[in-house]
Every structure is written in C-alpha cells, then in structure tokens.
Structure 1
Amino acid sequence: MTESGAGGASERPEGQRTVECADARVWLEGRQVLEGCSAITSLPDVSEFPELSLAEWKQWFIRAAVLVMSKVPAQGVAIFYQTDVKKDGAWVDKGYLISKAAEEAGCELLWHKVVCRRPPGTVTFGRPAYSHMLCFSRGIRVDLGKATPDVLPDAGEVTWTRGMGLHACLAACRFILEHTATRTVVDPFCGHGTVLAVANALGLDAVGVELSRKRAKKARVLRVTLDRTGAPAL
C-alpha cells in the first residue's frame, strides 16, 4: 500500500463501508468477537440520556465501553475519543470511566493522548479545550521506538459539534493501519461517519452503527480525501 506523500494518496484504493441504523449495544450484543476488526468510537454524553441520573449514565457508559472492548479481538485495538463535561459544578472524567471499563474488560492501555479542541490558553466553559483519546488492547503491545506524539495540537475539522476531528481520526486510523493486522474499523456510535470516511481514505474497510436515521444517512455518504502530504479534508 502506498503511503501518503511517498507516491500520492490518489494511489491508495478506498475501503468499503457499511452503516446500519440500529442501537449500538443491541447490535454488539448480537455478535461474536469481530475478527479482523478494531474499534474507534465516542460514547454518548450524559446530555443524550435525560431519563438517566448521572450515576445511572456512568454505569451505562462503563457497560457500553466494556461491551465494545469485549468484541475486539486480542490482536485488535479499541480507541475511544471522549470529551469531559461539567455537571452540577464538578467535572465528569470520561478518561477515568473508560480506563475503569478497560480494567474490567481485561485490556491494557497502550496510549493516552490529549487532543486540543481549542488553542492552548483558551478559556472554555462546560467542556474543556481538549479531549481524551485512549487506546486499549488485550494482545497488542507498542514498540517504544515507534511512539507517536502524546499531544495533538489540533483535533481538526468536525462535521458536527459532537464529532471527532479529522486529525484525531487520522491519528487513530493510522495507528490501526501501522500497528495491527486488522483491516476493518468499527464505530458503533458513528454519528456523521467521520471515522468511517477517514478509514476508507486510508484503504481500510469500515462498519458504522448509528441510532439516528438522519445521522446514519450522512454517515453513508461522507467522504474524506488525503492530499499528497497526507493531510485530510472534507
């Protein structure tokens, strides 16, 4: 496979994509281990569950994260992109919740990156200027000589307020491409499908699940291109 900038992104064959409109937990529970797959996803925020208390949502969040990790094979990875929120004057640390789920699922943390959503020094309210991006696996271990930056200075362009930025998607998908043998990316909470589109642009196949019919429709058609330097664009 030709690397971007070493022969041109246009030489890379685009991967295949499937998007299902379904409840992610029901979809995952109905499947065995997703052989040949790794996962990249962002779990829904407490604001999307008005019927749940904060404590109930935390339990839902942990259970959902455990479920995602349980469906990834040992030689794959599960990558979570999460932005903390402030609730009743206190921060809800989603990175901690994901790590708690990983311990229960028997997965080890390969890396934890900080992704800047706003320029350093920016004051924000309600949501921090950064997001967590954490990668877990049961079987993969990373060669220390192949480490990548711990801080991404720019999340990249987003298609909607809750979306994962293009640069963050690219970093996650490239890690899967370069450090695992899995060649399909699964996003069980795919939203507008940015992860799927970036995976396809890198030649990886992609499977998305989205409860909203409107968002699922967008996720089926979103396209991302890589220029000759490997930079992504909508």
Structure 2
Amino acid sequence: MAHAAPGDRPAREVHCADALEWLPTNPLSDDCALLTSLPDLSEFRRTTIDEWVAWFDAAAEAVLRATPDGSVAMFYQSDVRLDGRWIDKGYLVQRAAERTGDSLQWHRIVCRAPAGTPTGRRPGYAHLLCFSRGFRAPEADGAPDVVPEMGSMIWSRATGTAACEFALEWLRQHTKARVVVDPFCGHGTVLAIANRLGLGAIGVERSPGRAKKARQLQL
C-alpha cells in the first residue's frame, strides 16, 4: 500500500503493528527516509542471544530493503555485553547492508557519557550510521564526526533527543526526504522531533500502549 501524497498526509501516523510484517506490505514513497533504533535482547522474552542476533540481522535488512533507492536509512545503536560476549550492533547493521547493496554514507559516534568516563558494562557511546543504495552524501557536510551528547531520553530505551536532532537536521539539509519513518518507534521520540523540525512522521510500534504515547508525544 503506497502512502498518500505528501500534501495529503497528516503530520504524524502511528501504526500498531509488527514492523517486519508492515514494512514489506507498505511501500514507502520517494520522499521518505528512515531513522530507527532496533530493539535490544532485553525487550524479548524467552529468546537466546543467538536467536536475537538472527532477528536483529533480519530486521536491519528489512529496514534497508524498505528504504527508497534515492533516500537514506539511519540507525542509532548502542553496543551491549551479553553473557561475556560483546555484541557490536553497528557491525550487525553493516553486515545487513552488504546483503542489500547499501553503501555506508557516514558513521558518527554519539557520546552517552563524557569522553574518558568509565561506564562499566554499558558503553559510553552509541553508533549513528547512515546508508543508501542510490543517494550519495556530500563529502564535506559540515557535521562533526563525534556528537558530544545523546540528549535526554523520553523512556529507558529511547533514542537521545540530541542524537535525533543531529540526524534529522542533517536529513533536512542534505536530502529531499520530508517524511521520517521509524519502524520501531517506541514512545515516539523520533516522530516528535521530526514534527518539530517541520517533517512529517510515520511510526510503527507493536505495543498498543507505546503506540498511543507515540501518537501524543510533543517535544
């Protein structure tokens, strides 16, 4: 199902659905770009690490395949240590991109804690990666390689507001996308910031409670 023309869209749509079922059945128009953070193992019940890694791999591929050829998909992902294993989510996304034929356009580091601060089990940084099949980012876009802070979190698993603002401001300045899609939108941080920056927003969320919050969140 193709979406309506940009002028006919509401500022925000939130669909209560499984993203891996919704994405292949709802082709996105050329003015859409994606920004999302794929769920961690902590959000799955009775799932082993290997099962979650396989799910993550498939989910990243689904997001990339759903992205229009001339647009971009951006991922905000923090690494995690599980059962003595260090899981590099940035690597998992790049592995999926190799299968879909997407090129890495840029890779920024977002500081979750000030540089030099010991953070224990959870890393003090997150990856912010941008991919595309047909779009090519300008070599000098004026944006820093390191985002000094992630910003506030609307809920415990949210993408930081400063990281969202960085990604969406870059999107607004350097691409033709005017609608942002977050297939794992949670409470709606990406959607609310997109609206605040004058962009339309589409979210997908399995949890009815979270989907309701994502429809209402204002920043």
Match of 1:119? 114
**1:123-153 per-position Cα deviation (integer Å, ceiling 9, x unaligned):** 2232111111100011111222324111011
Please show how residues 28-39 of structure 1 align to structure 2 within 5 Å. 28-39=23-34
Q: For residue 144 of structure 1, give the secondary structure of its aligned residue in structure 2.
A: coil
The number of equivalent residue pairs is: 210
Distance in 1, matches of 2:43 and 2:112, equals 21
Give the counterpart letter for 2:151 in structure 1: G
Distance in 2, matches of 1:118 and 1:147, equals 23
TM superposition score normalised by structure 1: 0.86
Match of 2:72? 77
Contact 1:75 / 1:182 at 8 angstroms: preserved in 2? no
Task: Decide which of 99, 105, 124 is 1:104's aligned counterpart.
Answer: 99
Match of 1:16? 11
Match of 2:50? 55
Distance in 2, matches of 1:133 and 1:145, equals 17
Deviation at 1:174, TM superposition (A): 1.1
Q: For residue 157 of structure 1, give the secondary structure of its aligned residue in structure 2.
A: coil
Match of 1:193? 188
Residues 1:144 and 2:139 aligned together: yes
Distance in 2, matches of 1:109 and 1:154, equals 23
Match of 1:128? 123
Structure 1's consecutive aligned runs of 4 or more residues displaced over 3 angstroms after TM superposition are none
Q: For residue 192 of structure 1, give the secondary structure of its aligned residue in structure 2.
A: coil
Task: Decide which of 39, 43, 52 is 2:38's aligned counterpart.
Answer: 43
Give the counterpart letter for 1:128 in structure 2: P
TM superposition score normalised by structure 2: 0.92
Deviation at 1:35, TM superposition (A): 2.9
* Farther off after superposition, 189-198 or 142-151: 142-151
